[in-house]
Amino acid sequence: MKQQAFETHYAARWDAFADWLKRAGGQRTKTQPAEPAIDPMQVPARYRELCQHLALARDRQYSADLIERLSRLALAGHQALYAARSRGLERVWQFLRSGFPRAVRRDVRFVVLAALLFFGPLLVLTFAIPEHPDFAYVVLPAKVLDDVQEMYGEAAKTLGRKREADTDVAMFGFYIFNNVRIGFQTFAGGLVFGLGTIFYLLYNGVFIGAITGHIIHSGLATQFFSFTSGHSAFELGAICLSGAAGLKLGHAVLAPGQLKRAAALRAAAAEAVPLVAGLAGMLLVAAAIEAFWSPRTFLLPVVKYAVGGTLWLLLLLYFTFAGRGRAA
């Protein structure tokens, strides 16, 4: 068939498909008839027909303008038909209810490894520094330790704050800016064979452990734990999860198994995304608690310990039991 005959024969069908694409893309044309040009149930068949026309045009070596026009239509049709449809809020709820805890359980060995790397130095230093208090000054600069003492000292009206930054909203912004960024960087560091993640986990563990040990040695333990117990569950848990996600990436790069490295990395990244999204949410909650609840001094310490302990328990129960026994 000559090109001209081909074009005149099928032009109407191509135009109808293009019109459907415009509607599917949400654009409104000025002269739009009430009926769509194509019955939606027919769209896949019409797309396949368009692909066949394109293949014919290429095979018969029709002119470049026709091939270009059909290629553009085919690309747009491909994107319209094969794009993943996000289901919005329902998907978020599904994620919280089962997607996130299942992702954590699936990668539990990475979570355990990250917890060892993070809590290991943290606990060692927490218990060792009260015995050897000068070691705190080896690990951290003196100014940091003095600041910390000031934040939890007797004179602190609100806990955990230096006197300059004394509104909750400002600190909320700061905690979001600082902590979520740390979480993301810990995750991203896993790409470098896991070394970045390991470094961040060890560094943060040492840092927090040294501060905690120093605080205990200075006799400010009650104020300190009164401040930190509320948000500690969410924040430390999130750091563990970011470490787990990063280690997962590092493992894919180091030991891709049967796959090529790029393919193993893609698969690991796809599985790590739920962890990262979940930990970002946890850090947001932790920032809110840390900014609005933790600094309050009018509550008895024992109340805050109770709340903190309950949150730890709830988180552990959530990750252990949520999302079980439900069809995927």
Contact footprint for another protein (CB under 8 A)? 2-5, 47-48, 51-52, 54-55, 61-65, 68-69, 71-72, 74-75, 78-79, 82-84, 86, 165-174, 176-177, 180-181, 184-185, 187-189, 191-192, 196, 249, 262, 265-266, 268-270, 272-273, 276-277
CB of residue 189 to another protein, shortest distance in Å: 7
Closest approach of Cβ 191 to another protein, in Å? 5
In whole angstroms, how far apart are CA 218 and each of 76, 135, 224, 235? 67, 14, 11, 24
The residue (of 132 and 181) whose beta carbon lies closer to another protein is 181
**Which CB atom, from 144 or from 265, has the smaller least distance to another protein?**
265
Residue 15 C-beta: closest distance to another protein, Å: 14
Q: Which is nearer to another protein, 195 or 315 (CB)?
A: 195
- Assign 3-class secondary structure to the chain: CCHHHHHHHHHHHHHHHHHHHHHHCCCCCCCCCCCCCCCHHHHHHHHHHHHHHHHHHHHCCCCHHHHHHHHHHHHHHHHHHHCCCCCCHHHHHHHHHHHHHHHHHHCHHHHHHHHHHHHHHHHHHHHHCCCCCCHHHHHCCHHHHHHHHHHHCCCCCCCCCCCCCCCHHHHHHHHHHHHHHHHHHHHHHHHCCCHHHHHHHHHHHHHHHHHHHHHHHCCCHHHHHHHHHHHHHHHHHHHHHHHHHHHHHHHHHHCCCCCCHHHHHHHHHHHHHHHHHHHHHHHHHHHHHHHHCCCCCCCCHHHHHHHHHHHHHHHHHHHHHCCCCCCC
Measured CA to CA, the distance from residue 26 to residue 20 in angstroms comes to 10
Nearer CB in complex with another protein: 61/258? 61
Residue nearer to another protein on the CB measure, 38 or 139? 38
Q: Closest approach of Cβ 100 to another protein, in Å?
A: 13
- The C-alpha atoms of residue 73 and residue 19 are separated, in whole angstroms, by 10
For the CB of residue 94, give the shortest distance to another protein in the complex, in Å.
14
Beta carbon of residue 98, minimum distance to another protein (angstroms, whole number): 17
Q: Which is nearer to another protein, 170 or 317 (CB)?
A: 170
Least Cα distance to 281 among 135, 180, 204 occurs for 180
| Closer of 191 and 216 to another protein (Cβ) | 191
Q: How far is the CB of 190 from another protein (least distance, A)?
A: 9
- Cβ proximity to another protein: between 129 and 268 the closer is 268
Nearest distance from C-beta of residue 16 to another protein, angstroms:
18
Q: Return the closest-CA partner of residue 171 out of 295, 322, 273.
A: 295
Closer residue to another protein (CB): 4 or 258: 4
Quote the least distance from Cβ 194 to another protein, whole Å: 12
